Amino acid sequence: MTKRPGRPTGASRAREALIEEATRYFLSKPYDKVSTRKIAESAGVDVALIRYYFGNKAGLFEATVRENAAPTIAKLRQAIQDGKVETLNDAVEASIG
C-alpha cells in the first residue's frame, strides 16, 4: 500500500521525511534537475509542505545541507571543547575522524 499525500500525522516526521528524500535526490542529481514534487511524492506528503517548512526549493536544499553537516559540526565542537583543535588542519581531521 502506497502512502497517500496530504497532511502528515506528525509534523516533525513529515519534515524528516522531506529532508531524507531531499538528501537522496540532491546526492543523485544536479540541483536544477531535482523536482520538489518528486521529493514530496517520495516522502509521502503534499508538496505544499515544502513551502510550509522550508519556504522554497533553495530553503529545502539549505536545510538538507545543514542536517547532513550536523554530525560533522558536532564532532568539531567536541574536539574544540576537548582542546584537540589548534590549527585548521586539526579541525578538518577532527571533523572527518
CA dihedral angle for residue 29, residue 18, residue 59, residue 35, rounded to 10 degrees:
40
Q: Pull the grid cell for residue 63.
A: 536545510
Residue with cell 540532491: 26
| pTM summary value | 0.77
Domains and CATH numbers, the chain: 11-96 (1.10.357.10)
Mean pLDDT on 52-71: 97
Q: Is 10 left (phi over 0), alpha (psi -120 to 50) or beta?
A: beta
| Segment (H or E) for 24 | helix 11-28
Condensed to tens digits (0 to 9), the pLDDT of residues 63-73 reads 999 999 999 99
Mean pLDDT on 14-19: 97
CA dihedral angle for residue 67, residue 70, residue 71, residue 75, rounded to 10 degrees:
170
